[in-house]
Amino acid sequence: MSAVEELASQAPAVQAVPKRAMTLSSGTAFVVVLLLLIVPLFAKNFVIFQLTQLLYYGLAVLALNILTGGSGQFSLGQSAFYAIGAYTSAILMEQYDVNYALTLPIAGIICFAAGFLFGQPALRLSGVYLALATFALATAMPQLLKLGFFEKWTGGVQGQVVTKPDAPFGLPMSQDMWLYYFTLAVTIAIYIFSVNLLRSRSGRAFMAIRDNEIAASAMGINVSLYKTLAFGVSAGITGVAGGLGAIAVQFVAPDSFTITLAIQLFLGMVVGGVGWLPGSFIGAAFIIFVPNIAESISKGLSGAVFGVLLFLVIFLVPHGARQVAMVGQQLLERARKR
Amino acid sequence: MNLSPILRIAAFATAVIALTSGGALAQKKYDAGASDSEIKIGNIMPYSGAASAFGVIGKTEEAYFKKINAEGGINGRKISFISYDDAYSPPKAVEQIHKLVEDDEVLLVFNPLGTPSNSAIQKYLNAKEIPQLFVASGASKWNAPSSFPWTMGWQPSYQGEGRIYAKYLLKEKPDAKIGVLFQNDDFGKDYLKGLKDALGEKADAMIVAEESYETSEPSVDTHIVKLKASGADVFFSVTTPKFAAQAIKKLAEIDWHPMHLLVSISASVGSVIQPAGYENSQGILSAAYDKDAADPQWNNDPGMKKFTEFLQQYYPDGNKLDSSTIYGYGAAQTLVKVLQMCGDDLTRANVMKQAASLRDFQPDTLLPGIRINTTADDFAPIQQLRMMRFKGQNWELFGDIMSGEMER
């Protein structure tokens, strides 16, 4: 029995999550969206900027969540797709004068193609081997972006500065606020798409593959097609997130998309709860805010403080924010019964 | 006089405005981040991540401002130095800059480190009209007052240093056959550009071989063998410390003894020469603009004595042999000078105006004769360097102070 087969027959690393448990109830969702709409009106510019960050990092984590939580495949290479998306948006905006909103679908399509193609060879691998292959992609990407051959477009190591868009139709809003609402609209659209995708026939196929690949193929699911499709969709969403990130940060450079970013996204997914889509945004909040908290505790030891906090989270709530949410829900129900 | 009440109020208001604004000219003027008691200064540094060794610069600066505050501050105002970690990541730098500007409301951003991080924040700070003062990077693009009037560098640019080596070669060895080893990034390419610019038409004839390496390569040995084979008699090493030491060792190993030019950022005795071996390093040429604390000739230098005392009292953990402490001290001293020149007019516009009016200023840690000069269309504070040769266990300075400026 080869090592790969051994892995396949073992209990899956990703817990099977019923699709109902993957989303929020409509009431909670309504409250969250309302909060996201109102809060920026009363917040400082800096908070708006951080919320924008939260949204596009959340999207990138969501994409990984579809791949890992949905179809059970690991990836440490999301930073590569994020980089492709960011560069696509930046280059189209700055060198070809394409409207920023139009660059996002293009970034998504290019990344979908990249992800789909990468999914082909990745089919032969699973579990940790697949994680390692995607890891290679993430380490290679910053260097590919520095290549002299692409320098005409990428700006090489110097990177590329991106102009921030103004609010359209003369709306009385700051650039940051407009960008926030724009990002929010894109995020909600992609979130709804993702929820529907996972509830659709394709989503069921993803989950069947995740739970038991052999049984899924016996049921007539085209395993290779759906596995690569999951890779493609995940990469496509990551690309859109990357494009949004480039517009918000106003700058792309190879050093922005190192392996650290891929690990952060992976971390965000685990902390948010694998397979729980709303958790992606909680995970994103963790990777954005906790390093800042760690820094405010100790500047010299910020890395160590972050490590301790992360350890505590994983130790106390191994299933991340999903576990917290479920415990909270149970408590509520118990309170109601009394 | 029968003025209507509205007119009377208007006349009174005008009088009040005229009086108060007339008075304010002679009085104190502030932008956000400055007040009677405080000046808020923002900074970003890679305290974590790949470039965390440079975090020492931020810590030295913090200690230096502590010293200034202990001595009474600047014109009675205390400096509050807010420094955040960007882990050498441009998106993180952008986030921290937003925080400094919009949340902490600093008067200016001082000495943020790294070419990528500074490129990422330059446009934002210039749009907001907030000084990005004394950028800690040797890229030449910080000297562009017409397009980025709120950004100013500090140290000599890599291109400027490259030009100095070219001038030296044109004078001392006009028939040189140069082999260049350079790091394949903005740092390496800037040096190469400076060298080529100053060699001018002779560049193509003089540079016989160019080899570039990636920071991810484990060693540069193969490149050096190729350069030797090209028949070069001058070896120009545009390398970061680890690779500089490898190159020195390899040269000795293959018994190749060209004229060896080493860029200043790798001229550290502690991190390059010592590991590569003193005997292998004899005769290497480099250039410097600040004093080397390891060099005994500065033992009785008043400036270096002040520096050592400062370290003992305010930053006892700081290593005086680490070139980052010397760097941070000099940069912080330059900022304090600018703020003193601002007097009671602590507006952002005046900070830039004063920063662009430095005349022959000499921080304690710069080599004698090297002075900081800026004008409204020259945003490059330090442009001079002096050549030096490695002898025994120290660098020996020689020749005149050279300017890296382009000859116009």
Average pLDDT, chain B: 89
If asked whether residues B61 and B100 sit together in one domain, one would say yes
Q: What is the pLDDT of residue A125?
A: 80
Q: What is the pLDDT of residues B123-180, one digit of tens each?
A: 999 999 999 999 999 888 899 999 999 999 999 999 999 999 999 999 999 999 999 9
Q: Which of B196, B121, B149 is nearest to B378 (CA)?
A: B149
Contact indicator for A126, A133 with CB cutoff of 8 Å: no
Quick check: helix, strand or coil at residue B215? coil
Q: What is the pLDDT of residue B299?
A: 86
Of B87, B102, B115, nearest to A44 by CB-CB distance is: B102
Contact indicator for B250, B203 with CB cutoff of 8 Å: no
DSSP-derived secondary structure for B271-299: IIIHHH-HHHHTT-EEEESB--TT-GGGT
Residue percentage of chain B with pLDDT more than 90: 66
Q: What is the mean pLDDT of residues B349-378?
A: 93
B19: CB partners within 8 A, 6+ apart: none
CA B231/CA A313 separation, integer angstroms: 61
Q: Is A298 on the interface with B (CB under 8 A)?
A: no
Q: Band of the pLDDT at B407, cuts 50, 70, 90?
A: low
Q: What is the pLDDT of residues B300-331, one digit of tens each?
A: 899 999 999 999 999 998 888 888 899 999 99
CA B256/CA A45 separation, integer angstroms: 60
Q: What is the mean pLDDT of residues B53-67?
A: 93
Tell me the torsion sign for CA atoms A311, A316, A322, A324.
Answer: negative
B32: CB partners within 8 A, 6+ apart: B105, B106, B107
Q: What is the pLDDT of residue A21?
A: 59
Q: What is the pLDDT of residue A147?
A: 76
Residue B366, domain member (yes or no): yes
Q: What is the pLDDT of residue B11?
A: 57
CA A177/CA A183 separation, integer angstroms: 10
B315: CB partners within 8 A, 6+ apart: B59, B60, B63, B325
Q: Band of the pLDDT at B22, cuts 50, 70, 90?
A: very low
Residue B178, domain member (yes or no): yes
Residue B265's domain comprises 159-288+387-403
Tokens found for residue A244: 């949004």
- Strand-pair partners of A161: A251
Residue B294, domain member (yes or no): no
Of A50, A159, A302, nearest to B47 by CB-CB distance is: A302
Q: What is the mean pLDDT of residues B78-87?
A: 93
If asked whether residues B397 and B278 sit together in one domain, one would say yes
Alpha carbon of A45: minimum distance to chain B alpha carbons (Å): 6
Residue B231, domain member (yes or no): yes
Q: What is the pLDDT of residue A9?
A: 43
The single-letter code of the amino acid at B92 is K
CA B270/CA B275 separation, integer angstroms: 8
Question: For the domain that residue B256 is a member of, what is the CATH number?
Answer: 3.40.50.2300
Q: What is the mean pLDDT of residues B251-277?
A: 90
Cβ atoms within 10 Å, residue A300: 15
CA B73/CA B59 separation, integer angstroms: 18
Residue A17, domain member (yes or no): no
CA B187/CA A240 separation, integer angstroms: 32
Number of folded domains that form chain A: 1
Q: What is the pLDDT of residue B23?
A: 42
Residue B185: list chain A partners with CB under 8 A.
146, 157
Is this prediction's ipTM beyond 0.85? no
If asked whether residues B226 and B360 sit together in one domain, one would say no
CA A5/CA A49 separation, integer angstroms: 47
Residue B186: list chain A partners with CB under 8 A.
156-158
Question: For the domain that residue A305 is a member of, what is the CATH number?
Answer: 1.10.3470
Q: What is the pLDDT of residue B25?
A: 47
Number of folded domains that form chain B: 3
- Is the predicted pLDDT of residue B13 greater than 60, yes or no? no
Block means of pLDDT (10 residues each) for chain A, 338 residues, are 43 54 72 86 87 94 92 90 94 90 94 90 80 88 81 78 80 85 94 91 90 89 89 95 93 88 92 88 91 82 84 86 83 79
Alpha carbon of A300: minimum distance to chain B alpha carbons (Å): 7
If asked whether residues B121 and B61 sit together in one domain, one would say yes
Q: Residue written as tokens 């301790």?
A: A308
| Record: contact B102-A45, CB cut-off 8 A | yes
Tokens found for residue B237: 């090493």
- H/E stretch holding B80 reads strand B78-85
Residue A312's domain comprises 23-337
Of A50, A256, A302, nearest to B85 by CB-CB distance is: A302
Q: Which of A168, A219, A207, A201 is nearest to A67 (CA)?
A: A207
Q: What is the pLDDT of residue B195?
A: 94
